[in-house]
Structure 1
Amino acid sequence: MNLRIGVIGTGAIGEDHIRRITNVITGARVVALSDLNVNRAKNLAKKYDVKFYVTGEEVIEAAEVDAVVIASWDPTHAQYVAASIKAGKFVLCEKPLATSKEDCKRIVEAELAGGKQLVQVGFMRRFDSGYRQLKACIESGEIGNPLMLHCVHRNPTPGPKHTTEMSIKNSVIHEIDVLRWLLGEDFKTAQVLLPKSSSLAENGLRDPQIVLLETQSGVRIDIESFVSCQYGYDVQCEVVGETGTIRLPDPAAVVMRSHGKLSYEIFSDWSDRFVEAYNIEFQQWVDGVKLGVVAGPTAWDGYAACITADACTEAREKGTIVPITMPQCSAFYGR
């Protein structure tokens, strides 16, 4: 029997998730959707033969909806996740879980009060084969204890209305989550350096930025965020251990020898680079919901990422090293 899914938010990523649920994964179908852009949403509802609702709350409350996918504007995430918990429905919320740690805390408290994990956060990098290879290698002990990580997160151009703050809360937040997962520990301090800004960064955007994190055990991490690099979408990660190093592999691509050059294609967009990770993420989420479990990053993971992102933002604004205070994780979340 198919899991009946309601989708809130039908922009680029929301539409892609509707396509994915309909045409790629198995065991689920979209039955309802909603978006502030009514014309776009109605057109998609007609295209996929699903019901259109005016509000996200109506999607969540609909009797025909078993589970919810939230891909709407970031500031709306908290209200829709809270409504899904209240309705007792599993929900996959695109990152961030909420735009403030206070809202994330309220979500965690609501889930704890309900006594059942219902929330998964859309940190798809945990499902990427390259990152999973890194994690397996770290856990095998082949390179000894990790000491340093060097990371890069580059976009060819920033998205619409991209701000200096969004470089951390919308881009680097992926590194914040996946590195916490890779190393199995929380962060202790944050610092942000602002190099010379690119002349191609518009509207006062400070770009690039360098985020420096320290984990509880003392692992040092540097993350370059450069959202207007022009040449492509490029994600890199190198782990330096006591006895060796490992590097995130580039996605499989044809290597060309031509015109005196050796080259391969670099993706131009995040959706192409992580398409398989998204597919795996959604398939495992659907399979997990059918079993009554959360199969990926939890509300607590979303809370931890937001706490860290807020500390990074404070560090950039103050120009200082900021301590990261992480609350004690409840056994409810398995830690």
Structure 2
Amino acid sequence: MSVLRVGVIGTGMIGRDHIRRMTTVLAGVAVTAVTDVDVDTAKKVAEGLPGATLHATGEDLIADPAVDAVVVCSWGPTHEQYVLASIAAGKPVFCEKPLATTQDACLRIVRAEVAAGRRLVQVGYMRRYDAAYRALKQVVDSGAIGTPLMMHCAHRNASVPSFYEKESAITDTAVHEIDMVRWMFGEEISAARVLIPRRSRNGGPLQDPLLLILEMAGGALVDVEISVNIRYGYDIRGEVVGEDGTAALGELSPVVVRTARQRSTPVPVDWRERFLGAYDVEIQEWIDSLAGGGAPVGPNAWDGYAAAVVSDAGVAALRTGERVPVDLAPRPALYGTVAVLP
């Protein structure tokens, strides 16, 4: 069995976590090169990877003949340059979200990939790889609950860092639901609105919580509760309401604790705990898809672009209080129909 040789750009928290899973959990892969603007951190990571090369720049890593594919985990504003460089080099690239920080930059990536004539880019939207979300989609696709009419979502964080901004509730938090519902319903989002309820005392300067309303192209409505300072834990919820029934994500924890006359289910601390398994499946399926010169089959450059456009519409709706239509460029044939499995 051939081994995919991967270079990782960005050795911060998520980069190191992907390196850990590729070296200790997953099969068919070897990390052969790393780089980061924090040279000392990158050097320490490289020293723990026998035979791996430490590169001065992302472009140097991409050009390394010992690198078959690239994983981009660097700061968001650098994603465009590294993804474009990977496309130019003809190397598959897995890019953590966002694909790029503006919709124009995402569209440049889409056009570069179309010009290359083949799929090379995958974007890190891990919800599609979560066992609970996959089970929910199977029920929706089966027709068991009839035509989907609505979906209720909640994205709750115990807290967020001090640099988190008002718009981050859409661009950094709800963007996961934005990608997920496109995949869940198999269609694009046509408009966004934001409702602002009473402000939580835990939100500080933020307007927290928010209610994001998404209109699907087929007529279904999706509401996303975004609460980022709810204190009790990291709680992700989703329920699809159909003509003939409903289907919802299962319990947060596989165990139920009974003690001191109370019954409880533990709540995840953060996104790493909740989606640990999804990240493992996501990267393993990316590796498997590239075996024998294959192409990635997960969330693509168009998905990254569409998420950016919807996020911008959501931010505009937050600022204006108005319903904001989503205006997408024509979808290239390279990307087929919207939001295919996985």
Range class of TM-score, shorter chain: over 0.9
Structure 2 counterparts to residues 287-306 of structure 1, below 5 A: 287-291=288-292, 292-306=294-308
Secondary structure, counterpart of 1:148 in structure 2? strand
Deviations 1:242-286 (A, max 9, x none): 111111112442211110110111110111111111111111100
SS in 1 for 2:11: coil
Q: Which runs of 5+ in 2 are unaligned?
A: 338-342
Matches within 5 A, 1:174-323: 174-202=176-204, 204-291=205-292, 292-323=294-325
Q: Is 1:8 matched with 2:6?
A: no
* 1:91-130 map, 5 Å: 91-130=93-132
Aligned partners of 1:229 and 1:55: how far apart in 2? 40
Q: For the residues of structure 1 that align with 2:125 and 2:71, how far apart are their CA atoms? A: 13
Cα distance in 1 for partners of 2:63, 2:164 equals 33
After TM superposition, give the deviation of residue 54 of structure 1 in Å: 1.8
Are residues 1:53 and 2:55 paired?
Answer: yes
Paired residue secondary structure (1:109): helix
- Partner of residue 137 from structure 1, selected from 124, 139, 143: 139
Alpha-carbon distance between aligned partners in 1 of 2:332 and 2:96, rounded to the nearest angstrom: 23
Tell me the residue number matched to 1:149: 151
Q: 1 CA distance for matches of 2:159 and 2:112?
A: 38
The question of whether the paired residues in 1 share the 8 Å contact of 2:253 and 2:267 is answered with no
Q: Could you list the per-position Cα deviations for residues 7-65 of structure 1 after superposition, in whole angstroms to 9, with x for gaps in the alignment?
A: 01111111100000000010001111111222111111112232211211111111111
Task: Output the CA distance in 1 between the equivalents of 2:64 and 2:335.
Answer: 28
2-structure distance, mates of 1:251, 1:195: 26
Instruction: Note the 1:14-93 alignment, pairs <5 A.
Output: 14-49=15-50, 50-93=52-95
TM-score, normalization: structure 1? 0.97
Three-state SS of the structure 2 residue aligned to 1:157 is: coil
The two structures, once aligned, show a CA RMSD in angstroms of 1.1
1:199-244 CA-to-partner distances (Å, cap 9, x unmatched) read 2223x32221111011111111110111111111110001111111
Residue 12 of structure 2 aligns with an amino acid whose one-letter code is: G
Q: Which whole-Å deviations, capped at 9, do the CAs of 1:51-97 have from their partners, x for residues lacking one? A: 21121111111111110001111111111111110111000000111
Cα separation, 1, equivalents of 2:73 and 2:161 = 16
Q: Which whole-Å deviations, capped at 9, do the CAs of 1:156-187 have from their partners, x for residues lacking one?
A: 11135111111211111110001110001111
1:272-321 deviation per Cα after TM superposition (whole angstroms, max 9, x unaligned):
11111111111110011124111201111111111111110111111100
3-state SS of paired residue (2:215): strand
CA distance in 2, matches of 1:130, 1:136: 10
CA contact (8 A) 2:252 2:265 kept: no
TM-superposed deviation, 1:328: 2.6
Matched AA of 1:36:
V
- For the residues of structure 1 that align with 2:253 and 2:136, how far apart are their CA atoms? 16
1:324 aligns with 2:319: no
Distance in 1 (alpha carbons) for counterparts of 2:259 and 2:299: 43
Q: Distance in 2 between matches of 1:90 and 1:124?
A: 18
CA distance in 2, matches of 1:303, 1:275: 25
Structure 1 stretches of 4+ moved >6 Å: none
Count residues with an aligned counterpart. Answer: 334
Q: Secondary structure of the residue that 1:48 maps to in structure 2?
A: coil
Q: Distance in 2 between matches of 1:89 and 1:160?
A: 37
**Whole-Å Cα distance in 2 between the matches of residues 262 and 95 of structure 1?**
37
Matched letter for residue 283 of structure 1: Q
Identity of aligned residues (%): 47
Q: What TM-score comes out, normalization by structure 2 length?
A: 0.95
The CA deviation at 1:195 is 2.0
**Letter paired with 2:279:** Y
Instruction: Give the structure 1 partner of residue 340 of structure 2.
Output: none
* Deviation at residue 330 of structure 1 after TM alignment: 1.8
Q: 2:8·2:70 contact (CA, 8 Å) conserved in 1?
A: yes
Q: Tell me, which stretches of 5 or more residues in structure 1 are unaligned?
A: none
How many Å separate the matches in 1 of 2:285 and 2:162? 31
